[in-house]
């Protein structure tokens, strides 16, 4: 057998092309397949044999190998690149000899293929191609999965809750009462009411300062109280009324609690988690989408907050003046 550069390049061209590389990459999805199963489609078997010989021969550089070294290289190929195949090195070696792809002469194995595809290159190129095909397959799967999930959500989306403007206004008045109590206690005046079928289950105002708890927002406290009263963490069908658009933390909690609808009065463009600063439920791709109604008794809710912060600024200014 010639061993010059021209002969090596010719041998390399006989072994592999990018179509075979792609075909072999698809075979890796068939975990646990046997040689007999692979042989059901001659193209699968050919792609496997070509790829095996390509790596055994160092991309066609070697045209003969001692039998022991050949078997070692074959075993290494199976361990590195064909773990998906349920076959031993002895079985694959026997198949290569049986198909006439590998022969033996003077204690050395040699190989030849009858067709000449158009690929020449180092094994690193093949590994890079496999990585490319794997990444493309992952992207396709992710895209298809996202499409199926969107379709599934559309098919199983619950019916839009019935909106009663009069009921919304009446329960927002209750939330305003809770907010005024919170403001009187020195808290930011935000109140929340959780109702089921129009009946109030829980009511709360901010208690961040009094509890020394940064999570003690009115919405969180109303959720905790309602869950404890009803004996369930899933508040299906519930409607939460709150005087200020929920923050990101509260918005996520409302989705996790499976609250059907959130009604708020004043928007919070700086920190709102429903639509003000961001829609945290959409951005986080949370499973449960909460219906939203904004602007109920907006003027009253905004006035309450504005008066509270104006009074606080006046107090702070007076305190600074007294300190002088």
Query: Which residues are part of the catalytic machinery?
Result: 219
Q: Which residues pair with 105 in a beta bridge?
A: 108
Report the Cα 203 to chain-centroid distance in Å.
36
Q: How far apart are CA 159 and CA 7, in angstroms?
A: 72
Q: How far apart are CA 62 and CA 46, in angstroms?
A: 20
Listed in sequence order, the residues at least 6 apart from 111 whose beta carbon sits closer than 8 Å to its beta carbon are 53, 57, 63, 96, 101, 102, 103
Phi, psi of 204 (to 5 degrees): -160, 155
Compute how many other C-beta atoms are within 10 angstroms of the C-beta atom of residue 110: 16
**Structure tokens belonging to residue 41:** 């489609």
Q: How many residues would you count in the chain?
A: 324
Nearest to 267 by CA among 281, 282, 277: 277
Secondary structure (DSSP) of 81-101? H-TTB---HHHHHHHHHHTTS
């Amino acid at each position: 057998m010639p061993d010059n550069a021209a002969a090596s390049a010719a041998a390399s061209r006989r072994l592999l092309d990018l179509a075979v590389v792609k075909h072999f990459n698809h075979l890796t999805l068939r975990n646990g397949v046997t040689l007999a199963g692979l042989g059901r489609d001659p193209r699968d078997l050919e792609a496997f044999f070509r790829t095996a010989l390509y790596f055994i021969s160092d991309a066609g550089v070697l045209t003969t190998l001692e039998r022991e070294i050949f078997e070692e290289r074959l075993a290494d190929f199976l361990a590195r690149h064909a773990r998906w195949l349920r076959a031993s090195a002895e079985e694959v070696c026997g198949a290569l000899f049986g198909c006439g792809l590998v022969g033996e002469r003077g204690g050395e194995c040699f190989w030849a293929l009858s067709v000449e595809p158009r690929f020449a290159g180092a094994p690193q190129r093949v590994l890079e191609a496999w990585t490319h095909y794997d990444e493309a397959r992952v992207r396709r799967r992710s895209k298809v999965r996202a499409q199926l999930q969107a379709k599934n959500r559309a098919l199983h989306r619950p019916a839009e809750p019935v909106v009663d403007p009069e009921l919304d206004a009446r329960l927002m008045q209750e939330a305003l009462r809770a907010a005024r109590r919170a403001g009187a206690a020195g808290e930011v005046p935000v109140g929340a009411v959780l109702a089921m079928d129009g009946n109030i289950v829980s009511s709360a105002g901010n208690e961040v300062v009094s509890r020394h708890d940064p999570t003690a927002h009115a919405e969180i406290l109303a959720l905790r109280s309602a869950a404890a009263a009803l004996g369930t963490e899933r508040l299906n069908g519930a409607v939460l009324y709150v005087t200020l658009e929920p923050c990101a933390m509260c918005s996520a909690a409302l989705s996790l609690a499976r609250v059907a609808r959130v009604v708020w009065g004043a928007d919070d463009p700086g920190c709102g988690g429903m639509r003000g600063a961001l829609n945290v439920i959409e951005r986080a791709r949370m499973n449960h989408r909460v219906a939203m109604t904004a602007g109920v008794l907006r003027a009253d809710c905004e006035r309450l907050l504005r008066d509270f912060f104006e009074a606080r600024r006046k107090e702070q200014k007076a305190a600074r003046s007294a300190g002088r």
